[in-house]
Amino acid sequence: MKAHRSILQKASLASAVIVGFGVAGTTAGANDAAPPGRSVAYAWTERHEAVYESKDKDGKEARLECPNGLNDNGIREQMAALFPEPAGKNYKLVDAHLAREAEIWFPNTEADKFPFHEVGGTTAYGLNLDGKVKPSDFTSPDGQVKGIDNQFYRAVGCIPSYREGSSQRLFYTQYLESRPFNRTVMELTDVDSLENDDDVTVTTYRGLHPLVRDAQGEFQADTTQLVDTAWGRDFVWASKAKIVNGVLITTKPNDLAWPNENHTNASIDRMREVRFEMKLAGEKIEGLMGGYFDIENTYHALIRRFDSHQISYGKLAAGSLYKVLHRLADGYPDPVTGKNTAISGALRVYGVRVHLIHPEKEVADAPQTGGPRPTQAAGGGE
Amino acid sequence: MCLAATMLAGGAFVLASAGVAAEPAKDEKAAEVGARKHLRLLTTQQYLNTVQYVFGPDITVDVKFAPLMRTDGVLMAATSIAGVGDAQLETYQKIANLLSTQVIDPRNRESLIPCKPADEKAADRECAGKFLTRVIDALYFVPPPKEHIARLVDEAGTSADRMQNFYAGLQVVLEGVLLSPSVLLVAEKEEPDPKRPGQMRLDASSQAARLSLFLWNAAPDPALRAAANRGDLFDARKRSRLVDAMLASPRLETGVRAFFDDMFGLEDLETLSKDSTVYPYFLGGVSDQAREQTLRTVVDQLLTKNGDYRDIFTSRATFLSPQLGILYGVKTLPGWNAYEFPPEAQRAGILTHASFLARASHATRSSATLRGKALRELIMCQKVPPPPANVDFSAVENPDPRLRTARERVNQHLENPVCAGCHRITDPIGLSLEKFDGAGRYRETERGAEIDPSGTLDGKEFADVVGLSQALRDSPALPSCLVRRAYSYATASVVPPSSNAMLAQFGKTFASDGYRLRPLLRAIAMDPSFSVVSTPTPAPEKSAAVSQSTNVASNN
Amino acid sequence: MNGFSRRRVLRGMLNGGAVTVGLPLLNCFLNGNGNALADGKPIPPRFALWSWGLGHNRDVFIPKKIGSGFEFPEEIESLEPLRQHINLLTNFTAFRDSAGLTGHVTGWIIARTGAPPVAGNNLSGETYDIKIANQISRAQRFKTLTATATGSARTSYSYEDPNTPNPSEYSPLEFYTRLFGPEFNNPNAADFKPSPRAMSRKSALSAVMEESAWLNQRVGAEDKARLDQYFSGLRHLEKQFVQQLTKPEPIAACNPSAAPNEAELKMNNESPFVVKRNEMMSDLLAMAIACDQTRVVNMSYADMSSNTIKPGYEKPHHTSSHEEAVDDKLGYQPVCSWFVRRSMEGLAYFIKSFEKIKEGDGSLLDNMLIVADTGDANARTHGLLDMPMFTAGRAGGKLKTGLHIDVNGAPMSRMTLTAMRVLGMDVKTFGGGSNTTSEIISDILV
């Protein structure tokens, strides 16, 4: 199955690698040339928690990072253990299901009645947020980056929901594409070179248009996104950045909110001191977004996104997760209690290049038909 | 009124556009070529336009009649010769059943049926009669005898009683009406022409139908039929007023779109598919939008802007959808938006639309030959002969991998004397379109080699596709081809060689009107040859084709 | 494809235009093998579609051996006794092109319409069983019959157009009543009652045909032939009504049994009830075809996102497919495989219900083309590569059987086009987008 998938999809997969940084299809030019209008934009096509999973030499899951195995105490399993149903035994709804539901909506940090397996390895994806190398920190899989702050991974890395192939990750991917609410774009401006440039500006926005797939089912590059200036102001985030050997590194950590509507409901996710490290690869962009998850917000966003039914798909028990997030929290101590309220973490983000239209700049003076202004080189120039 | 529509006895004068004095055009002989009378099949779109004009656009089906065979360059000419097999009747029946069921549906009957039965479970011949009389009056292009309407009304009554349901009874009769040959066929009829003793002309209802199918792509509506039955079409001044009204109607756009859809072979885009591994950016549905782009562009230039026909081959003004924006590398907002390609872009004119470029390409690669052939045949009315039977295709079908560009490959054609004769007609123009790949996307190189887009058109040299478009715009074949196609389309006929002088005369008028479309349509609609009936000349199609191909050969 | 390449197409030139006239179906189906009904009547083409939900577990479903004599891995072992009647085709692709992937929906839309969904999850046109029914079953009492084993009328994968699903028969008893109740003209019975609607449609058609009286006067000699063609087409339609209104010829194979007893059937998705309903519906559908009430039937064992329940197990099939772990030793999801195995037993029953009915020199199955399909390959990931299909029956001697064919990633539409051609349809291409094909699977043709 894998074999012919790669053949069927050779065109688009290859283009990312082979075309390199040429702004393929529309403008010829070397990697170090300025993009048209000195700007380039990308729309997110996939975004999920950065979870390192060890593999054995055959490329199969080795799970070395989970010395106690994967968590098997999901919400359903906990329910079954707490309320066994021997013949004839019946519980009142208010004592059983509703009580459990209440525990999800009003979680606590008391000790968990159920065993929880957290990550025991020392390898992880992520960024070194505090510039220090501490005992609890991780090292990147290639050994290059030390001091990685990703305690969120320690919490969730052994929960099947957060691992490759899980339904949760499938939902993230599906709904990032299918719900317009989630559309997120990143624009790089003041770019003189996509290879090396020590001063560029990075801004994220909410976009308004659907992602488009090509006839092979891959994300189509160079479609148009209109910036949402009406309802998307909360999601605007900006930072200075540099590009080093084709890798974009933001330099001004800054709090970021992003829309995340999923199975059940819409939520706004928040991360503090966000920074990006993204590889620019022609039509594609891929990399890490790191920072501190606000625990209360992160938890409530999760249980709003998925109801207990979806959460149970990957042996996740929200109440148990709440406890462990607080236990491993490593940032933003509460001024009164001194307890940390945030936890370091990272997301893996993938994007595809798009044209961006800023309504305030471009639509206002567009032709009367409402069309875009006959536009700069990238537009008409081919 | 300064309309110069003066029909003289004998019809010896061609009628020019409003405000321009009629000029003596042809001798009597030329006028006599006229058109033959036909039994025409409505096309799918004509049928739907007709039915929807009566019942509204919500009453619709997505079913197509059997495809027509392009005849002497136009599909419409095939409506006068195509047969109707049993399977076609089954299609008609299916459509009639679906449409009639929608009409009597409780959601629609309130607005579409002008009365309510006394009892829904029984016949109501008065109400059925009211409804059916209106429908038949609106749909039958010749009014049937009164007894026939009575017969159908009675049928609705009997059926209603039999099924104990008024609407069910009405539905079966409406189904019958909607698949009636009186609705789906236009049987033109001749009558003696009082102005030319011994000669024949089309009768009033036939003329009304011909005008309406030509200008509106629908059967005539009751108002036009009534005017025709009063004899208005035989009165030059009244005919002129009627034709002007038809040209001013919003329905003209429907007619003009149908004509150019036919002339440019855009129906092929319905079934066009591309290999998605080679052209992943040729998205599903984009070929329909390419068709729409070209039709919008044509309507905008020729009707909205009342522009020069030749300019549609050079103009950078067009309309784009987001999917086309992806193909063309242009920022686009949702929906259709006006767009003008910048001067430095290689896109100018409809030759650079995907509707032309992708249509005349293979599923996996572009084709200089197909594009050159399409340009010659569809746009210049020249005939490119098929390859000879003894041709060795191995060189082009298994090309030497070292030949990277199309130009290098098609040189094979030009080196082989068997191929060269025809490929010299197609390839030099097709090669200048090579900067667009088989899906219509712009490219600078093919397999790493620079593409050389220079070429020649009938002796004129140019450096790139913009030059080709300009050369084409200035070619005399361009307007004369439009005239030929429009006339053939208008009369649903193969134009016999004996009509060439008449077409040349239309061409002159067209030129003097600044190559604007409305005056040309008007001239054709007012021309006596549009309305008189000629005696058939033997085997016109073959000789026409031969003479055209000779034409091309002598040009090269 | 011998049977049909021999089929003659008359190409007549009429006033310069080529007119393609297919020979009447009946002649078309007289073949040289003397394979006709016992009473000498030619065998008409008949078609059945059967679907199951949530694909397969590759390693225990797809045989290693290609061609004849292939092995039956455990998930499909219930079909082994039918080996000489079936083909297994594997490795189809449902190309969704630019359409999004909606779990358990996108796949069946592509499988049944040949084209990716449009504007979200809408079908681009009718499902192909309807295309076939419009051709081979229009004159029957029912153009098509759709049934399901799920107990819900909504489980239907047969659409007249994008907005009109053919609701499924879900109650065997009600279905029996519709088929063989008071309105049934038993071909073997003494009395006969024609349908009032068919009578009315025929009568209205006859009234319209009277228009030839004045239309004939309008056309000249050269167009007379074409107008005559139109009226002869109308007579063809009239003849179809006459057929509906005429007492049918006796059909030996037509022998409906008593009404099914569904008293103990719960209208839910528990596997034992699904199994039972599949059996009852299969028998009814096969008999409906044997009695020539229709020539196209459509049966779904489960929703494409199968909600069948295994008694004693807490998650239905669909939930299991996403939640159940792959068993390290077995290499697949064991409960999901249990569900697929029940589905395959259901398919086996469906095929056997046609085999049970004697027709001509053999069984009804010999004269059928049955296609079985599903909406996913790998349900867990909503995968659309590696899609499997079965055919059963020999379509009156036109199909080879007993083969496992690897179609090597071809679009599912290739099987559809093959089916249409086998059933006598003059279709050159089928499908939309990357699923468009003009190729057929010649390996399974005689």
The tens digit of pLDDT for each residue in C193-202 reads 788 998 999 9
Which ranges in B378-430 belong to alpha helices (H)?
Answer: 394-397, 406-415, 417-430
Cβ separation C17–B83 shorter than 8 A: yes
**Packing angle of the helix pair B251-263, B44-55 (nearest 10 deg):** 170
Residues in B closer than 8 angstroms to A19, CB to CB, are none
Cβ separation A4–C408 shorter than 8 A: yes
pLDDT band at C328 (very low <50, low <70, confident <90, very high): confident
Beta partners for residue B340, in sequence order: B317
Rounded distance between C-alpha atoms, residue A302 and residue A293, angstroms: 12
Q: For the segment A339-369, what is each residue's pLDDT rounded down to a tens digit?
A: 999 999 999 999 999 999 998 776 544 443 3
Chain A nearest-CA distance from B334, in A, is 8
Rounded distance between C-alpha atoms, residue A246 and residue A255, angstroms: 25
Nearest one of C45, C42, C321, C353 to C172, comparing CA atoms: C353
Residues in A closer than 8 angstroms to C378, CB to CB, are 1
Q: What is the bridge-based pairing of β-strands B455-457 and B185-187?
A: unpaired
Cβ separation A26–B329 shorter than 8 A: yes
DSSP A166: -
Contact C377/C388 with Cβ under 8 angstroms? yes
Q: How high is the pLDDT of residue B388?
A: 60
Q: For the segment B314-364, what is each residue's pLDDT rounded down to a tens digit?
A: 999 999 999 999 999 999 988 999 999 999 999 999 999 999 999 999 878
Confirm or reject contact between B347 and chain A (CB < 8 A): yes
Same structural domain, C242 and C151:
no
Phi, psi values for residue A210, rounded to 5° = -65, 155
Rounded distance between C-alpha atoms, residue B41 and residue C293, angstroms: 35
Q: How many domains does chain C have?
A: 2
* Six-digit token string for B362: 């293979």
Indicate the residue of B277, B282, B331 with minimum beta-carbon distance to A372. Answer: B331
Beta partners for residue B455, in sequence order: B462
Cβ separation B325–A371 shorter than 8 A: no
DSSP B363: S
Contact B74/B485 with Cβ under 8 angstroms? yes
Of all helices (H) and strands (E), which one includes residue C22?
strand C17-22
**Which one is predicted more confidently, C13 or B514?**
B514
Q: Which of helix, strand or coil describes residue B237?
A: helix
Q: How high is the pLDDT of residue B404?
A: 76
Ranges in chain A, pLDDT < 50 = 1-30, 364-382
Query: Which range among B289-293, C21-25, C430-434 has the greatest average pLDDT?
Result: B289-293
Same structural domain, C232 and C325:
no
Rounded distance between C-alpha atoms, residue B312 and residue A294, angstroms: 60
Contact C289/C368 with Cβ under 8 angstroms? yes
Tokens 């996102």 -> residue: C305
Indicate the residue of C204, C230, C436 with minimum beta-carbon distance to B172. Answer: C204
Q: How high is the pLDDT of residue B141?
A: 87
Q: What is the bridge-based pairing of β-strands C17-22 and B190-192?
A: unpaired
Same structural domain, C230 and C357:
no
Contact C435/C124 with Cβ under 8 angstroms? no
Q: For the segment C246-280, what is each residue's pLDDT rounded down to a tens digit?
A: 888 888 899 999 999 888 777 778 899 999 999 99
Q: How high is the pLDDT of residue B8?
A: 26
State the average pLDDT for chain C: 84
Residues in B closer than 8 angstroms to C214, CB to CB, are 142, 144-145
Ranges of each domain in chain A: 32-376
Chain B nearest-CA distance from C285, in A, is 25
Going B430 to B432 to B437 to B439, the CA torsion angle's sign is negative
Residues in C closer than 8 angstroms to B163, CB to CB, are 196-197, 200
Most C CBs within 10 Å: which of A2, A8, A175, as the mutation test of the C interface? A8
Residues in A closer than 8 angstroms to C107, CB to CB, are none
Amino acid at B497: P
Phi, psi values for residue A202, rounded to 5° = -120, 130
* Six-digit token string for C149: 């084993």
Of C229, C246, C263, which residue sits at a domain end?
A: C246
The neighbour count for residue B504, using CB atoms within 10 Å, is 13
Q: Which of helix, strand or coil describes residue A86?
A: coil
Exposure of B201 in the CB half-sphere (CA atoms within 13 A)? 21
Of C219, C246, C273, which residue sits at a domain end?
A: C246
> Domain for residue C118, yes or no?
yes
- Whether the pLDDT of residue C414 is over 90: the answer is yes
Cβ separation C98–A212 shorter than 8 A: yes
Chain C nearest-CA distance from A365, in A, is 31
Most C CBs within 10 Å: which of B58, B64, B89, as the mutation test of the C interface? B89
Q: For the segment C229-252, what is each residue's pLDDT rounded down to a tens digit?
A: 899 889 988 887 887 788 888 888
Task: Kindly give, in sequence order, each residue whose CB lies less than 8 Å from that of residue B35, ignoring residues fewer than 6 positions away.
Answer: B491, B493, B529, B530, B532, B533, B534
Closest Cα in chain C to B152: C207
Q: For the segment B70-103, what is each residue's pLDDT rounded down to a tens digit?
A: 888 999 999 998 888 777 887 899 899 989 999 9
Chain A nearest-CA distance from B345, in A, is 5
Cβ separation A165–C408 shorter than 8 A: no
Cβ separation A215–C408 shorter than 8 A: no
Q: For the segment B144-153, what is each residue's pLDDT rounded down to a tens digit?
A: 999 999 999 9
Closest Cα in chain A to C102: A174
Chain B nearest-CA distance from A367, in A, is 8
Nearest one of B109, B90, B100, B108 to B174, comparing CA atoms: B100
Q: Dihedral through CA C403, CA C408, CA C410, CA C412, nearest 10?
A: 50
Which ranges in C93-156 belong to alpha helices (H)?
Answer: 106-113, 128-136
Most B CBs within 10 Å: which of C223, C417, C427, as the mutation test of the B interface? C223
State the average pLDDT for chain B: 85
Indicate the residue of B168, B181, B283 with minimum beta-carbon distance to C230. Answer: B181
Same structural domain, C322 and C421:
yes
Contact B187/C228 with Cβ under 8 angstroms? no
Q: Tell me the mean pLDDT in the region C382-407.
A: 92
Closest Cα in chain B to A225: B333
Cβ separation A1–C383 shorter than 8 A: yes
Q: How high is the pLDDT of residue B34?
A: 67
Confirm or reject contact between A1 and chain C (CB < 8 A): yes
Contact A366/A372 with Cβ under 8 angstroms? yes
Q: For the segment C147-168, what is each residue's pLDDT rounded down to a tens digit?
A: 999 988 778 899 877 777 777 8
Residues in C closer than 8 angstroms to A308, CB to CB, are none
Cβ separation B181–C203 shorter than 8 A: no
Closest Cα in chain C to A220: C98
Nearest one of C131, C114, C118 to C163, comparing CA atoms: C118
Q: For the segment C12-65, what is each residue's pLDDT rounded down to a tens digit?
A: 223 333 333 333 333 233 333 334 554 556 788 899 999 999 999 989 999 999
Going B95 to B97 to B100 to B104, the CA torsion angle's sign is negative
The neighbour count for residue C209, using CB atoms within 10 Å, is 18
For the question of an ipTM over 0.90, the answer is no
User: Which phi-psi region, left, alpha or beta, contains residue B387 (left: φ > 0; alpha: ψ -120 to 50)?
Assistant: beta
Cβ separation C322–A312 shorter than 8 A: no
Q: Dihedral through CA B141, CA B146, CA B147, CA B149, nearest 10?
A: 60
Closest Cα in chain B to A224: B331
Residues in B closer than 8 angstroms to C433, CB to CB, are 273, 276, 284
Q: How high is the pLDDT of residue C382?
A: 67
> Domain for residue C2, yes or no?
no
Indicate the residue of A1, A165, A214 with minimum beta-carbon distance to C386. Answer: A1
Cβ separation A1–C58 shorter than 8 A: yes
Q: How many separate helices (H) and strands (E) can be counted in chain A?
A: 9, 11
Rounded distance between C-alpha atoms, residue C400 and residue A209, angstroms: 50
* Six-digit token string for B58: 């919500």
Q: Which of helix, strand or coil describes residue A374?
A: coil
Q: Which residues of C242-254 are buried (b: 16+ CB within 10 A; e: fewer)?
A: eebbeebeebebb
- Whether the pLDDT of residue B390 is over 70: the answer is no
Q: How high is the pLDDT of residue B406?
A: 78
Cβ separation C98–A215 shorter than 8 A: yes
Contact A380/B344 with Cβ under 8 angstroms? yes
∠ CA C266-C50-C89, nearest 5°, is 140
Domain of residue C275, CATH code: 3.40.720.10
pLDDT band at B392 (very low <50, low <70, confident <90, very high): low
Confirm or reject contact between A167 and chain C (CB < 8 A): yes
Same structural domain, C284 and C379:
yes
Q: Which of helix, strand or coil describes residue B435?
A: coil
Closest Cα in chain A to C386: A1
Structural domain boundaries enclosing C391:
34-188+251-444
Confirm or reject contact between C434 and chain A (CB < 8 A): yes
Measuring CA to CA, how many Å separate B472 from each of B480, C207, C437? 12, 55, 36
∠ CA A41-A47-A53, nearest 5°, is 135
Tokens 């699923």 -> residue: C435
Q: How high is the pLDDT of residue B539?
A: 41
Q: Dihedral through CA B378, CA B379, CA B382, CA B387, nearest 10?
A: -50
Task: Kindly give, in sequence order, each residue whose CB lies less than 8 Å from that of residue A233, ignoring residues fewer than 6 positions away.
Answer: none
Indicate the residue of A12, A224, A367 with minimum beta-carbon distance to B280. Answer: A12
Cβ separation C214–B185 shorter than 8 A: no
Going C380 to C385 to C391 to C395, the CA torsion angle's sign is positive
Cβ separation A313–C381 shorter than 8 A: no
Determine the distance from the C-alpha atom of residue C396 to the mean position of all C-alpha atoms in its chain, rounded to a whole number.
15
Q: How high is the pLDDT of residue C177?
A: 87
Q: For the segment B408-422, what is each residue's pLDDT rounded down to a tens digit?
A: 777 777 777 767 777
The neighbour count for residue B188, using CB atoms within 10 Å, is 27
Same structural domain, C170 and C209:
no
* Six-digit token string for B191: 């009558």
Rounded distance between C-alpha atoms, residue B556 and residue A39, angstroms: 50
Same structural domain, C292 and C413:
yes
Residues in A closer than 8 angstroms to B437, CB to CB, are none
Q: Which residues of B70-103 are buried (b: 16+ CB within 10 A; e: fewer)?
A: bbbbbbbbbbbbbbbbbbbbbbbbebbbbbbbbb
The whole-model pTM stands at 0.71
